[in-house]
Amino acid sequence: CLGHQAIGQVFGGVVRRAGAPVHGKTDRIAHCGSGLFAGLPDPFIATRYHSLVVDSELPAELELTAWNHQGIVMGVRHRELPIYGVQFHPESVLTEYGRALLGNFLSLRAAHNQTPPEEADRAEEADHAE
């Protein structure tokens, strides 16, 4: 959750104290249904451990991807870069579908790390031209 808060702040968002600390509590998380949340039920139960939150007025670079019934930001993604953050803890045993969410993250990272075919073709042509 600290990484999520750092992403919010680095891109110009406001991180503030939550109305009350939330430690070891579960919550229903609604989401956009894509990216990290592809294939997950909407909503699902996740575990929260935090006393800070990213303000719901997000900077232009960030897109809201998950929220709770109170409208608290539970997930963001950068609109152009492969940067994702969640306020809840997918690694907690009390979080439903935490493994699936982490699997989605790994798939997104793997897809980003692959060289696009057109770049590979240009590199091969440059090698043959030498």
Kindly list the catalytic residues: 1, 89, 91
Strand partners, 47: 26, 89
Q: Which among 70, 56, 76 has a CA at the least distance from the CA of 22?
A: 70
Strand partners, 75: 66, 86
* Residue type present at position 79: R
* Residue type present at position 28: R
Burial 85-97 (b: 16+ CB within 10 A, else e): bbbbbbeeeebbb
